[in-house]
Structure 1
């Protein structure tokens, strides 16, 4: 962890198949932090209600779910560091691609007035070939998980966030990704 005693809020972003969850869990274990996924369990159980809804309704569902997560994350940060699998960056990037074009005209950085701003945010990039390979090896996939064209466009939206540190996970294992992140955080091996 960093040299200060402050608890860190680290976000791991990426499209499906980039390794976010695996890297996030391993990183949390490595630096003794809480692993947190958005949407949280309550919201995750209900998301099938909005998955095929109008893009605006879907956006606000995830936006509100992330506000709820922010409240929980702030509580955890009082005593522990947090590694968060997906955050508001995902909500923004995916919904621009899904057609909520109004988001293109609003700076996503304005939202950090309402949300907990991460101390560091990482974007796990993955090549199309490797992403398709990883997704095909999963047991649970949605149609959206397998839509490579949409995921490519979403990846392009993520890369526009200037505060995301990009790590290409295409040809490196989980341990190497975690090592790169811990070194960047100042606790590397």
Structure 2
């Protein structure tokens, strides 16, 4: 296999050494040019571009062309890898693509790729058809090393998944224009199947991944989340145990006469203290999502791609909903996290770029699922980033992947917070949790008494 990969790489290098202008006309006609691309840049903006078979002007102006040339062209060399999804194959195809994307991400951060810049790349159809988006990467080698090419060819040659990742390579011609070659592994070797001119294109009104979110991470129903875990039972045995648990509960449950209060917030904002104190003050049942019956498998699912991880947390919400329905017939109920946290972290993870790329306020993605028991009140505890980090350091808390991301990526934290604030039906009542415990508890109890009956 190593010899074949090396031979394929040598053939590829020989083809790449040919003048681009001699080849581009013939190969351009073989390329399917119906896709656009959104590239995440270090400043958290998105560069959108498409592919054309001939040189033509652009209404976006020379500055946009030069920007793309600086990002994709020489010096150095850039490669694109996109993981295709077959929408007609349903959730199984989405799960397989997500697993492959995660594996490629881990491998592209090691070995000879460590000297390269790795950025998120999304391929999408301008029509916004659900299921058409393809997650991927832009790998930029500032030194244009042969070792990087060889390692990339070997990495993709070892992929046994079908369909295989799409490999593209960007080159600058003598006129300063950037062209993209598309390569495909055929008959044991890499064959060029197209090349086209890279052209800037207008940014769509909404982030192009948005149409896919209800079927990938922000599930609008129990049925959608179940479909994901059903596609995972062959390689995650615990997925079947969770599905069996979910099936033990009715599809629709009704809240009892007592109020239900959900308390949300990032780690170290005081949720544990506040939920316990409120529960004691109101003589309320205290529940947590995910509930204890599935929380034992949390670490397993936290290591999986977002689509699987969010399906786990979503089904945890439906299980705890049945517990809420039962307990709320006897007393008030306080819930430590619920659907809002599941949705906000999913949005912050999947929406590339900065805050400006989140769905606008009042978008349907922020609406509570129709088949999930709804709380009477949702409280969002907040503290400053500096105080939250200090609390984490003092407590020595074990950090999840998302917690590490919150600390390392200020934009990610802001996207989580803004997503919380845009949730609707019910919306979140923001509570400053930085004062003393007694004062925070008084504020919270005041909000509960003003918004809930039967207390």
Q: TM-score range by the shorter chain?
A: 0.7 to 0.9
CA distance in 2: counterparts of 1:37 and 1:123, whole angstroms: 15
The aligned residue for residue 132 of structure 1 is: 389
How does 1:45-84 map onto structure 2 within 5 Å? 45-84=296-335
Higher strand share: 2
The aligned residue for residue 438 of structure 2 is: 175
With 146-155 and 61-70 compared, the bigger mean Cα shift is at: 146-155
How does 1:91-170 map onto structure 2 within 5 Å? 91-99=342-350, 104=359, 106-111=364-369, 113-142=370-399, 143-146=401-404, 147-148=406-407, 149=410, 150-162=412-424, 163-170=427-434
Quote the offset at 1:140 in angstroms: 2.9
> Contact conserved, 2:288 with 2:336, CA < 8 A, in 1?
yes
CA distance in 1: counterparts of 2:339 and 2:366, whole angstroms: 8
Which of 74, 85, 103 does residue 336 from structure 2 map onto?
85
Q: Secondary structure at the match of 2:262?
A: strand
The aligned residue for residue 58 of structure 2 is: none
CA distance in 1: counterparts of 2:350 and 2:402, whole angstroms: 14
Gaps of 5+ in 1: none
CA distance in 1: counterparts of 2:415 and 2:385, whole angstroms: 11
Q: Secondary structure at the match of 1:115?
A: coil
Q: Which structure has the higher relative contact order (CA within 8 Å, separation 6+)? A: 1
Q: Secondary structure at the match of 1:96?
A: helix
- Which protein is bigger by CA-based radius of gyration? 2
The aligned residue for residue 15 of structure 1 is: 266
Quote the offset at 1:100 in angstroms: 6.5
Higher helix share: 1
> Contact conserved, 1:40 with 1:65, CA < 8 A, in 2?
yes
**Count of aligned positions:** 180
CA distance in 2: counterparts of 1:19 and 1:79, whole angstroms: 27
Q: TM-score, normalised by structure 2?
A: 0.38
CA distance in 2: counterparts of 1:96 and 1:115, whole angstroms: 19
How does 1:23-42 map onto structure 2 within 5 Å? 23-42=274-293
Quote the offset at 1:129 in angstroms: 0.6
Cα displacement string for residues 118-161 of structure 1 (whole angstroms, at most 9, x for unaligned residues): 11110001110111011111233215324322333312221212
CA distance in 2: counterparts of 1:92 and 1:41, whole angstroms: 20
Cα displacement string for residues 76-110 of structure 1 (whole angstroms, at most 9, x for unaligned residues): 11111111010000000011112268x95643424
> Contact conserved, 1:56 with 1:100, CA < 8 A, in 2?
no
> Contact conserved, 2:366 with 2:422, CA < 8 A, in 1?
no
CA distance in 1: counterparts of 2:364 and 2:395, whole angstroms: 35
CA distance in 2: counterparts of 1:78 and 1:109, whole angstroms: 26
Cα displacement string for residues 59-82 of structure 1 (whole angstroms, at most 9, x for unaligned residues): 111001111110111111111111
CA distance in 1: counterparts of 2:333 and 2:351, whole angstroms: 30
